[in-house]
Chains A and B, each alone.
Chain A
């Protein structure tokens, strides 16, 4: 039996692709918004497509934010994808409207400043030393499609003083060129919480390997 994974079905994700990609790497996947199932699964995937404000509102409607919060507190793995990653930050600003996120990480998700937006296509990533998520695919490209991103990451959480906690590992990417473009957070690995701005479920074999790496961490 593979690891039991719930893909949270709250109306704002390409849930079918995420489900299939996880099944491909051996997970036993359930697509549901049921809180008990999401709470009890070995791993929880939070996809997200569309606007930040609409996604966080949709998540709150099914009380997904509570499930995510409880899982993190209990050290149980959660993987956010695309807007499912963005909503983990303090807030998002789209079209001048600010929406509160879950505040797991400091920082605001804002519009990319690059010659061509949306940032769409296969881009390389800068993976930090010690990443488990990117093991074996550090030099691969992944598929991005987004107009907004977290462009800073503040390593300032109180719990870092506790030696049991390692600081988050942040993977970066660029939209545009090094001369005219924006550096943004492409992925974060923070204890039980992992997230990617790109779509591993649409990133071919490299994405499958990354999902496999994550599924393997699930007990």
Chain B
């Protein structure tokens, strides 16, 4: 018996409201992240993730308020990412009640940010989010995967596996590996990429992008993921958390 494979629903939040449709019945307000978070908690989510997609600082202030209200009601760990640029941003989210903070683009531009956050708050609060894709066209990287920005539209030429390894060495406590190729396809996670990153990092690894069927969660864990994150399959009710966990349990994986 050891630590369970975590199942993590992710909510995109814009100025305090859930974006992308959410198709739950019996919700007073399907756009309220707090109500959705409580619902997922009740269903057995092992953690929750909010991705703040607000374009303005006023929008981000609203998200901080949402984090505060969520932490009042939800008693499982909450990760908040999106627009985090400094250790002070991290401080603000932690004070509001976030347990972990996701960092992405700002760390690509300035990798020292990872060390700054880890030194001030500890590695355990820092999730490095990597939006990666298989290289194509003229680009090459040693692993065959590159880091992207702007929702996968812009390649950076940075090797995704090396970046994950470097980030862990700088102090990232966890890697959220999001396959931009698989994202939105519902055809399963990029298992090769997961296995390649797993072989090189010893911090926990979260698989993201491509969840469609219950068995996708099993194969992601078997490829080396410590946690599996999904958004639309849960929001649209295609899959439920208990259903996914049942599949994992039957496959011999430990779940909560």
Contacts and interface: CB of A to CB of B under 8 A. Distances in A.
How many chain B residues sit at the interface, stated as a range, is 20 to 34
A152 interface: no
B103 interface: no
B33 interface: no
B201 to A, nearest CB: 9
Given A116-B226, A147-B124, A202 B3 contact: no
Given A118-B204, A122-B3, A203 B123 contact: no
A156 to B, nearest CB: 29
Interface string A189-214: 00000000001011111011000000
A203 B202 CA distance: 24
A121 B121 contact: no
B75 A24 contact: yes
A143 B227 contact: no
How many chain A residues sit at the interface, stated as a range, is 35 or more
A136 B41 CA distance: 21
Given A122-B46, A204-B41, A176 B122 contact: no
Contacts of A2: none
B72 interface: yes
Contact of A121 (B71, B99, B204): B204
B251 interface: no
Interface stretch (A14-22, A27-35, A63-71, A85-93): A14-22
Interface in A38-86: 49-51
A207 B76 CA distance: 10
A121 B226 contact: yes
B244 to A, nearest CB: 15
B117 to A, nearest CB: 11
B249 interface: no
B207 to A, nearest CB: 14
Contacts of B226: 116, 120-121
B152 interface: no
Nearest to B4: A122
Nearest to A203: B75
B2 interface: yes
Main secondary structure of the interface of A (DSSP, over half): mixed
Interface string B197-215: 0000011100000000000
Given A118-B204, A121-B46, A202 B124 contact: no
A170 interface: no
Given A24-B75, A121-B227, A202-B75, A49 B125 contact: yes
B202 A116 contact: yes
B223 interface: no
Contact of A122 (B41, B99, B256): B256
Contacts of A147: 123-124, 173
B124 A146 contact: yes
Contact of A143 (B1, B76, B125): B76
B97 A118 contact: no
A123 B123 contact: no
Interface string B123-135: 1110000000000
Interface of B: 1-6, 41, 46, 71-72, 75-77, 94-97, 99, 120-125, 173-174, 202-204, 226-227, 256
24 contacts: A14-B97, A16-B97, A17-B97, A17-B99, A49-B121, A49-B125, A50-B122, A115-B202, A118-B174, A118-B203, A120-B204, A121-B3, A121-B226, A122-B3, A122-B256, A123-B1, A123-B3, A141-B256, A143-B77, A146-B124, A147-B124, A175-B3, A203-B75, A208-B75
Given A50-B121, A121-B226, A205-B75, 13 more contacts: A14-B94, A14-B97, A14-B99, A16-B71, A16-B97, A20-B72, A24-B75, A50-B122, A115-B202, A119-B3, A141-B4, A147-B123, A177-B2
